[in-house]
Amino acid sequence: MIGKVFAACLLLAAETYELPPHVLLGIYQVEGGRVGQEVGPNQNGSYDLGPMQINTIWLTELSGQWGVNKATARQWVRDDPCTNVGVAAWILRRHLNETGSLSQAIANYHSRTPNVGKVYKSKVLSSMNRHGLMRAAQ
């Protein structure tokens, strides 16, 4: 179940980055992370942080943008739910801007490897459908 504060943060992040909130919610449902969580190491040595499982590959860029060291950026992403979902929305918006496709952006959120991203996108869409977050085709 999603808490009220996290839900408010998710809606703000969706509005800030002009994304459908139900897509961020679908990603959250599939990622299944929680505040303070670090999962890994992944095959490439990276870790996934917090509710939206933000990969540590983003920390160098984030620390530069925020003017903090990587350890501080890591703590913020891992331990602050609003920062975590804000970064997730920022990542999804970058992929959407790059591809022009929300479907591809969802896949790329997890992996740019086509088959891996496709499986992930299917999981997100299935979760959204199961939770009544998908509109029926008109």
Cα distance between residue 17 and residue 56, in whole Å: 21
Find all residues with CB under 8 Å of 47, minimum gap 6, and list them. 38, 39, 40, 41, 55, 56
Please give the share of the chain, as a percent, with pLDDT higher than 90.
93
Output the pTM of the full model: 0.94
Give residue 138's pLDDT.
44
Q: What is the pLDDT of residues 17-33, one digit of tens each?
A: 999 999 999 999 999 99
Q: Is residue 137 part of a domain?
A: no
Cα distance between residue 21 and residue 12, in whole Å: 9
Quick check: 49 and 38 in contact, CB under 8 A?
A: yes
Quote the domain boundaries for residue 54: 4-130
Instruction: Return the CATH number at 9.
Output: 1.10.530.10
Cα distance between residue 13 and residue 10, in whole Å: 5
Q: Is residue 109 part of a domain?
A: yes
